[in-house]
Amino acid sequence: MAKRPILIHPDPRLKSEAAPVGSVSGEIKALAADMLETMYDAPGIGLAAPQVGVLSRLLVMDCVKEEDQPPRPMVLVDPQIVWSSEEQSVYEEGCLSIPDQYADVERPAEVEVTWTSLEGGACSERFSGLWATCVQHEIDHLDGRLFIDYLKPLKRQMITRKMVKLKRERARA
């Protein structure tokens, strides 16, 4: 396992649609392990493959917040939202590709998602609360969509300018 560098917005790879994985190769398994390590190290609660520069429909997440609860690392290959609740909920979202920027985003409060496991099995689960927000945020990444795309243009542009500046500073460092 190895940590991988996380792309920072703006980057064309974060705006691209990722391709279906299909059958799970050893390469995908290694990528999933690397992504989990990268996510926990960041630390974050979700990470999508395009964020590490791989345009494949794969995401990892673990939204367990309680310190007395065991971690629940999840790997979702080719995830699809098959049902969304009419009820909406608002969470203050952030993103490892947009460091230190947070904003309220409204999304369906519950979603049912189907995906393929790393072992190739068909999975399905209904997510609510933070898990629902996280899985929708990560699936958005697979479609080249960021949480700032839900914000008003002025706010989005402000955040993008900050990120351009951050990348310039990091490149000089």
Q: Considering beta carbons, is residue 21 or 134 the nearer one to Zn ion?
A: 134
Minimum distance from residue 47 beta carbon to Zn ion (Å):
8
Is 86 catalytic? The answer is: no
* Distance from chain centroid for Cα 92: 15
Residue in 86, 87, 93, 138 annotated catalytic? 138
Count of chain residues binding Zn ion (CB under 5 A)? 1
Minimum distance from residue 137 beta carbon to Zn ion (Å):
5
Q: Which residue is nearest to Zn ion (CB)?
A: 95
Q: Considering beta carbons, is residue 23 or 48 the nearer one to Zn ion?
A: 48
Query: What residues between 91 and 110 interact with Zn ion by CB under 5 A?
Result: 95
- What string of DSSP letters covers 103-125? EEEEEESEEEEEEE-TTS-EEEE
Report the SS3 class of residue 128.
Answer: strand
Cis peptide bond N-terminal to 43, omega within 30: yes
Torsions phi, psi for 27 (to 5 deg)? -65, -40
Residue 93: both structure tokens together: 């979202």
Query: What residues between 29 and 48 interact with Zn ion by CB under 5 A?
Result: none
Q: Considering beta carbons, is residue 25 or 164 the nearer one to Zn ion?
A: 164
Tell me which H or E stretch contains 99. Answer: strand 98-108
Stretch that binds Zn ion, among 24-32, 88-96, 112-120, 158-166 (CB under 5 A): 88-96
Report the SS3 class of residue 4.
Answer: coil
Enzyme catalytic residues: 138
Chain contacts with Zn ion (rule: CB under 5 A): 95
